[in-house]
Structure 1
Amino acid sequence: MSDQQLQHLIHMVNQIAANQHGDQATAAQRVTTHLQKFWARSMKAQIIDYLDSDGSELSPVAREAVADLKRLRQAN
């Protein structure tokens, strides 16, 4: 994956997170649900890999959502 593609994924997940309201845990759960429903398997894998390797550009809500997504994928 190119750096530009990764930057696009980071931007998208941060935007989704920024549009959520309520406490951080609730917002993160909404983002996780969105990622599960609407992101392709490859996109989810790439953002999880990014979280594992660095993750520094993810907002706190986005970081929590991607970590939750990772836990859900490992459980299945």
Structure 2
Amino acid sequence: MSHNPLDTLIHMANQIAANNSHYGSEAEAAERVRVHLKKFWARSMKQQIIDYLHEDGSQLSPIAQAAIAKLEVRPGATDAA
């Protein structure tokens, strides 16, 4: 994997997913990942990873894909859900 910013975000999302994969079901793990991304990632980071999921997403783990699918960055919103 090269070291461009998107590759770094993909790697980070997959690591967060792996670190949360032991929490119950895949859905519960994905929710924990979603909450983490919402709290700790900048809006621009979230938008990049959401765009990647919609364009390809193949390098994301299933848990990361499920978590990112639940993120939505709305222009002008104070908090990205």
Q: Identity of aligned pairs, percent?
A: 62
TM-score (norm 2): 0.82
TM-score (norm 1): 0.87
How many positions carry a matched residue from both structures? 71
Where do 5+ consecutive residues of structure 2 fail to align? Answer: none
- Letter in structure 2 aligned against 1:53: E
Q: Which residue of 2 aligns with 1:41?
A: 43
Q: Which residue of 1 aligns with 2:18?
A: 18
Q: Which has the larger radius of gyration?
A: 2
Displacement of 1:54 in angstroms is 0.2
Coordinate RMSD, CA, aligned: 1.4
**Larger RCO (alpha carbons 8 Å, 6+ apart):** 1
Return the structure number with greater helix share. Answer: 1
